[in-house]
Amino acid sequence: MRQKIVAGNWKMNLDLNQGKALLLEILDSNINKDTLTIIAPPAIHLNSFNQMLSHTSIALAAQNCHQQDSGAYTGELSVGMLKSVGVEYVIIGHSERREYFMEDSLSLSFKVNNVIKHGLRPIYCCGETLTQRQEGEHFRTISNQIEQGLFQLNEMELLNCIVAYEPVWAIGTGETASPEQAQEVHNFIRKTIAKQYGDMVADNISILYGGSVKPANAKELFTCPDIDGGLIGGAALNAESFVAIGDSF
């Protein structure tokens, strides 16, 4: 059975004290124990959060990693470093990193490989821009991202991945893909995986929706048969909203 997942991507928000305060609010709330809850704070929070989460059901994620294990890569963090402070998941290829840091799916495949090698789980992001959707290129764009970023993995490795579909035009804009639009793409992703790996693998990989998810629309999105949860941005910075989204299954 696929996991139901709510992952909060805090992006570049909140200093350490602000982050601790938000995490304590979340911990004091009644978190849905039937849902896998993941927090992805800024990197400076990870070590402190690892200690705060040590006796909870909440998992810790990093927002990025480097593809090499060590070396002269000033400012970067290796997967081994992240693992040493309790990280279990790593977001790979978020649309903001694709846009602002020019990351492409082929280069992201090396990050995916390194995360898997170290026994962590990638949350691999894919999605189209507004222009690509308007021009009818969204399915081709997404299939290319999936194939170039993940299809170097074997079946067991892929089953350790989580896929997140994030329509770029719906991130931080207040716009949301309709449940029908989101389900259509999630189903397409699952069929793309099935063509390469078979139905067993495709049916057992969790695919999250990311794009202005909030309590008001989460339930309708999460009832779609191929949507297994959300990669939450802005709403993850509010404890009440984040917990409410986790209760939407």
Read off the pLDDT of residues 181-221 as tens digits, 9 standing for 90 and up: 999 999 999 999 999 999 999 999 999 999 889 999 999 99
- Quote the pLDDT of residue 211: 87
- pLDDT over threshold 90, residue 3: yes
- Cα distance between residue 237 and residue 217, in whole Å: 17
What is the CATH number that goes with domain 5-246?
Answer: 3.20.20.70
| From 45, 66, 94, 138, the catalytic residue | 94
- Cα distance between residue 184 and residue 206, in whole Å: 15
| From 96, 103, 128, 166, the catalytic residue | 166
Least confident of 40-54, 109-123, 159-173, 185-199: 159-173
Kindly report the pTM of this predicted structure.
0.97
List the chain domain ranges. 5-246
- pLDDT over threshold 80, residue 38: yes
Catalytic residue check, 94: yes
- pLDDT over threshold 90, residue 85: yes
**Backbone φ, ψ for residue 164 (5° rounding):** -125, 120
- Mean pLDDT over each residue of the chain, to the nearest integer: 96
Contacts of 238 (CB under 8 A, 6+ apart): none
Least confident of 6-20, 49-63, 130-144, 159-173: 159-173
pLDDT (tens digit per residue) in 21-33: 999 999 999 899 8
